[in-house]
Amino acid sequence: MVELILLPVFAVLYNIAVVPELAALLLIILLGTAGVAITGTVFSAVAAQARLRELLLPLLLLPVMAPVLIASTEATSEVLRDPPELSPIWLTFLVAFDVVFLTTSWLISEYLLEE
Amino acid sequence: MARETKTVARGGAIISLPLLLLVFLLLAAASYGALIVAPTESTMGLIQRIFYFHVASAWTGFVAFGLVFIGSIGYLRTRSLKWDWLSVASAEVGVAFFTVVLVTGPIWARPVWGIWWTWDARLTSSFVLWILYVSYLVLRTLVEEPERRAMVAAVFGIFASLDIPLVYFSIWWFRTQHPQPVIGDGGSLDSRMWWVLMLTWLAMLGLMTVLIRLRVRLEALRAEMDALQMTELNNLS
């Protein structure tokens, strides 16, 4: 949601034509957000079990999330390039990340949530 | 006395002397091979010899992190703390080996590339991997109860190892866009260099085994001590 509001603001501020590439951008946003949400949820559950959890969460989350962040930024910069040249590599990577992490967290959640 | 024998039995035998000797000999042979036997690389010169330790440590580090993955799954499956001991031991040893990688890398890069560090894909991902397992160890110190610590660590250990292939796929793709002359030595490696590399790797694997076994034993003794303390406390009260 925040991204949907931020997108037009950034487009205006940086003078980038987002409209022609809107579909691709939305896809990247969707996949990237899914990756961040999945890892965020699992690792909040992990950190909630420990002391100093506010401090621990970013420490755990940043390295795990790094591939998503890198892939989304690379994909976005490719889309916004002139001319846009989105290679399927980063999108495939995002999809793979989402699928792998979603499956694993689904398999693991039963262990994680039992108390 | 009965207690003592039990401790040793539970902690596994102390590292056998032959194994230690073997690892020591392998390390000595690997150093000899890397420093004297292997031919000097034509363009980079002597500094290239650090490559044997650098690459062998990296591979060994991956093996150790793989053991963390196995230990984590084993713990979730069986709920036996022994698997957790394997995980923590391998994670610590793996971090140690990866520290070697991250230290020898810049030492090599400085004379060859002219810079200590660059945010290239492979360097960055190795660094991220190192951070992952350091935070794994930090996480462990922040959960007190052994069972819960083992469970939380196992979950994180599994996710961390999932990141390894993902990180490496991204490099593979990245490399197709930006070929790196430095890494493409796979095909053109001199056969003597290849043998020395394998020997070094073998030595490093042996060292890893010794270290992990010692560390597992330490963890077992620690658990034993905690249990004894608990019974003492119960007897007192």
**Does residue A12 sit within a domain?**
no
- Global pTM? 0.78
Q: Which of A41, A43, A46 to mutate to test the interface with B (most CBs of B within 10 A)?
A: A46
Contact with chain A for residue B9, Cβ under 8 A = no
Reported ipTM:
0.73
The predicted pLDDT at position B94 comes to 92
**Does residue A69 sit within a domain?**
yes
Tell me the mean pLDDT per 10 residues along chain B, length 237: 44 68 84 75 71 84 91 88 90 92 84 74 80 89 84 86 71 52 51 80 88 88 87 84
Residues on chain A touching B170 (C-beta within 8 angstroms) = 67, 70-71, 93
**Does residue A17 sit within a domain?**
no
**Does residue A15 sit within a domain?**
no
**Does residue A61 sit within a domain?**
yes
The predicted pLDDT at position B8 comes to 44
- Tens of pLDDT, residue by residue over A28-60, are 888 888 888 888 888 888 888 777 777 888 888
**Does residue A95 sit within a domain?**
yes
**Does residue A70 sit within a domain?**
yes
Nearest alpha carbon to residue B150 among B222, B61, B81, B232: B81
Residues on chain A touching B128 (C-beta within 8 angstroms) = 63, 66
**AA identity, residue B215:** R
Q: Do residues B76 and A111 lie in contact, with contact meaning Cβ atoms separated by under 8 Å?
A: yes
- The strand pairing partners of B45, in sequence order, are B41
Number of domains in chain A: 1
Contact with chain B for residue A109, Cβ under 8 A = no
The predicted pLDDT at position B183 comes to 46
**Does residue A71 sit within a domain?**
yes
User: Which tokens sit at B58?
Assistant: 């990296």
The predicted pLDDT at position A19 comes to 64
**Structural domain span for residue A109:** 23-113
Nearest alpha carbon to residue A33 among A106, A77, A91, A98: A98
Which residue would you say has higher pLDDT here, A77 or B188?
Answer: A77
